[in-house]
Structure formats: structure tokens, C-alpha cells
Amino acid sequence: MRGGVLFGKFRVYSLKGRLRLLVALMILSMCLLVLAFMSFFGKVIKEREIHATLQEAIDLQKLYVDKWKSQRLSDIGYLAETQAARSLNMQEMGSQFRLFKKSHSDFDSFAFADKDGKFLLQMDETPAETSIGDRSYFLAARSLQANVSDVISGRLSGKPMLVFIAPVLNKDGAFAGAVLGSVKVSMLDSIVNEFKFGDNGETFLLNKSGYRLTKLKGEAEDEWTREQYTTDIYERALAGVQSREAYLNRSGERVFGAYAWTADGEWLIIGETRVRDVYKPYYRLLVALALSCALILLLTYFAATLFTRKISRVLAHLLYGTKRIRSGEFGYRIDPAVIRNAPSELKELSDNFNIMSDKLQTTVQLLEESAVVDHLTDVYNRRFLMNEGAKIEEASARAGNSSSILLIDVDYFKKINDTYGHLIGDRVLKHAASLLVDCVRRSDVVARYGGEEFVVLATNCPIHCGRELAERIRASFVRTPYRDEEREIAITISIGVSQSKPERKYGTNTLEDMIERADKALYRAKNGGRNRVECDDCGSAAPSGSRSDSDSG
């Protein structure tokens, strides 16, 4: 009876027409169910994906910011522990500040304040005050705590800056002042802007009070918005609440967001992306499905079932891919064979997924590589030398073997830069690094120490072998000038050599002691006419062992 009413309503009386109507209604119902399923569960899946992506990126950014902040505090702590700082030798301290700045470009300037907070030594850019004795960051340093200031204004430029400060103790262990290093707030932008979500998403930093540390999009470098954030994401962060709900940002747009506090709990990292940007590909997918449903009405039930099965298969692979990436497999790709017969929109979505997966893997690899490799010379950087080099030397010492340090300086490098330009100067440094790698063993560590200085850490190498290696390296530089299509530049080097000793005289570990003694030997080599090798104490090491060159490169 109901079927007759239905057929009568559509004025379909023939068997052929009724069959067509039943098939059409069945296919339409199935398509509507598929669309309803995608509208609800697809949206839920999309929200989970974007929140997972946001949180993973913010957590990775947190690690990067924490590491950067810790390294800058370590840098200031290193300057505060130097002999010049502890003896309050302003002239030597100023010289060390200038040298340190050359190899630590994150810092804009350095200064020293006495125990009352009055500046005794200042470089280019320091806090605007002449005395910082009542400032919270100085009071913390007086309590022997290295810390970072809130955003303050520079003395000369008036631009916003951060101050890293570490206490200086005199020889009696009493507080004698503090070393300060200023970093422009714009430096934080270059760190945080490594990550971006969509066309209009952004990542930014707030301090604990809710004031922004990084500039707004479109804001000039010397501007800084001194306005407190009161959005939901900040309130969630203060309460320690994680939520997937969208909220209104400062511009009144609905956004999804994620946050993470830095390790010291002083800075808040927030990532936001607009809701409409998140759902844009999702809505495109729904439109594609709706058009497909219109086409399915003209096809058979089998074709409709096959088509939806293919769509579901592609979506399943996309979802599986996001789970693999979430678990840390950043290079996971969707097999193109899986989507060969899928609609163009889904192919584009899968291709974009693969592109984003590759980009994420490349970004992670670059972050890991940038922590240990000098990008100009492709040898290890100073950070790797000081961290891993110390471990390598300690392992060699535990095995009962001596190690040698060669501190190498390219003679008259400033003259090369002034004569031929910085581009040729960079090529000369690359050439120098290549010669060093060719001269040493594979087990030796070659690192760029800063500027035109390099360090070779040779394990199982007493000082007389270290001197032989140094002479071999020096001769190699004399024999192998830098050449290109237009010029030939003779290069000589001065080398200071030192050997590990049971009792250290300088620094906090044996490696720092060796480098300091090699530096003094290098100073003698440069004062003695350059293009020469000087040892810390070549006579103290009897030639009881020899350096093995069987695996030298």
C-alpha cells in the first residue's frame, strides 16, 4: 500500500520505472548516509588531526626554544666564569666579549655590572638604565641565579630586548657583579617562525604575565605590542587545561590552538590556525562527494558501492598516515598506487600529505643537524666540540690514552676578507676545513671554533705526535693554496698544541683546559711570526707511544 502511494506520488506506473525509482532511491539513500557519515565523523577526525599536528609542532618548538634559552644562559655563564670576569679585569673582559660575540651571533651586546648594579663595562646595546641594582633579574643574579629578564628597552636604539644575566664570583667565592648579554626580541621571531599552520596560522611567545614577546604579523621590527592577551588559550594555559574547542583570537576569528610552557615556566608558546582554513579542504572533499553522489544516481548499485569503497580506502590510508606521523615516523608516505584511481581532490589531498610529511622530516633533520654542524664549512661546530668532544676525551682518558688539541688560526684572514671580499673569505674557510679533514684520522674531531679558528681533537695522541700532526697540517696548507678560476691565494696557519693532563688548570673539564693551553701556545705562534707550530709543553711528553695513521683520511 505504501509502495503504491509512493509510486503514485511520482506518477510511475510501469515496472521499469518503478525499478528505476527504487534503485535511484536506494542509491540516493546510501549517498545521503555516506554524506552524513562524512559530515560528522570526518569533521571529528579532521579536528583530531589538526589538534595532534598543532600539539606535536608546539612540543617540538618548545624543545627548540628550551634548548636555545638554555644555551644562551650557558654562554653567559661561561663568560661569568672566565678568569677575566672573576678578577674584574675590564680590559681583558672587554676583549673576551668582542671575541665571544663574533662566534655567538644571537647576542647583540654584552656588559658587566658591579655588585651594586652599576655598569663598569658596556658594549653597543645594553639596558637603558645606568644602574640595574633594583631590577628583578639583577637581584636574582645577586642570589647566584642565572636568569632572563622580561622585555626591556635598549639604551641606544630603544628597541625591545631580552637580557641574559649570570652572577660573577670573585676568587673568594663572593658575589662581585654580573655579566649581561642582550638579545633583540626580533631574534625570537626567527626561532618561532620556523613553524606555521596554514596560510594565516601563526606561532608566538607570551611571557608569564600574558604579554607578547614576538611581534605581530605585519608589525615593524622595532615595534613591540605591549598589550596583555586575554584569549581563552591563555586562560587555559594558566589553568593547565587542554581543550580541543575553538575560540576567538585577538582579531575576533575562530581558531584552533595549542600551547606549551617552556621548561622554566616563564614563557608560553602558542600555535593557532583559523577554523575555516582547517575545514577548507574538508569542505572541498564534501563537495566532491556530493558531485559523486549525483553521478552515482546514473550508475549501477555496484558502481556506487565500488566508488564509496575506494573513497573509504583513501581516507583510511590518510588517517593511518597521520597516526604514523604522530608516533614519530615523520617520513611516512602514502603509496601512490593506493590513490591511482581515486578522485582528483583525494589525490591532491594525498599528494599534499606526502609533501607535508617530507617537509616535516626535512625540518626535523635540519634542526638536528644544525645543532652539531657548522653550515659554512660542513665540519662540526663549537657546540658539538664542547659537548661531545669532552665525552670523547674522557673516554680516551679512561682507556689510558692521551689526547691532543690543535688550535688552528688562518693567518691574516682579515686581510683576505678585506682584499677579496667576504665571499672569497668564506671559500677560503671551506678550503681550510677540507684540508684539515684530509690530514686527520677518521676518529679525530675537526670543528670550527669561531671565525677563522679551527680545532682538531686527536685521541690516542701524545703531544709529540700532536706536534707532528700539526707540522703535517701546516705543510699541507703551504703546499695547497686556495685556487679558483680567477685567483690563487697562499694560505698559512699558526697552530697551538696541548696535551691532556690529569690535573686541569683552566675551565671546568679537561677539554676546556686543553683548549685554553693550546690557545696560549697559538698566541706564541702568532707572536713568533705566524706560519708555525707552538706547543704547550712539548718537552713534558716522552715519545712512549705513536699516533696511528692507518685510518687517516
Distance CA 109, CA 18 (A): 85
Which alpha helices (DSSP H) does 173-274 contain, by range?
Answer: 185-192, 232-239
Place of cell 651586546: 109
Distance CA 153, CA 333 (A): 48
The CB density around residue 395, as the number of other CB atoms within 10 Å, is 12
Distance CA 162, CA 214 (A): 11
Instruction: Please give the full DSSP string across 5-59, using - where no structure is assigned.
Output: HHHHHTT--SHHHHHHHHHHHHHHHHHHHHHHHIIIIIHHHHHHHHHHHHHHHHH
The DSSP output letter for 530 is S
Helix (H) or strand (E) holding 369: helix 344-370
Q: Which three cell numbers stand for residue 535?
A: 706547543
Distance CA 133, CA 456 (A): 43
The CB density around residue 277, as the number of other CB atoms within 10 Å, is 17
Asked if residues 141 and 159 have their Cβ atoms less than 8 Å apart, the reply is no
Four-residue CA torsion sign, 526, 532, 533, 539: negative
The CB density around residue 103, as the number of other CB atoms within 10 Å, is 15
- Strand ranges (E), 460-540: 482-483, 488-489, 493-499, 533-535
Distance CA 279, CA 246 (A): 12
Which of 322, 333, 327 is closest to 362 using CA atoms? 333
The CB density around residue 172, as the number of other CB atoms within 10 Å, is 7
Q: Find residue 228's DSSP bridge partners.
A: 211
Q: Please state the φ and ψ torsions of residue 185, each to the nearest 5 degrees.
A: -60, -30
Task: Please list, in sequence order, all residues whose beta carbon lies within 8 angstroms of the beta carbon of residue 238, skipping any fewer than 6 positions away.
Answer: none
Task: Please list, in sequence order, all residues whose beta carbon lies within 8 angstroms of the beta carbon of residue 477, skipping any fewer than 6 positions away.
Answer: 432, 435, 491, 492, 493
Q: Active site includes 221?
A: no
The DSSP output letter for 386 is I
Distance CA 469, CA 508 (A): 27
The CB density around residue 475, as the number of other CB atoms within 10 Å, is 11
Cα 258 to Cα 219, 368, 409, distances in angstroms: 23, 23, 48
**Catalytically annotated residue among 452, 453, 468, 534:** 452
Asked if residues 379 and 463 have their Cβ atoms less than 8 Å apart, the reply is no
Question: How many Cα atoms sit within 13 Å of 381 on the Cβ side?
Answer: 12
- Strand ranges (E), 147-290: 147-148, 152-153, 160-169, 175-184, 202-207, 247-248, 254-261, 267-274
- Active centre residues (catalytic): 452
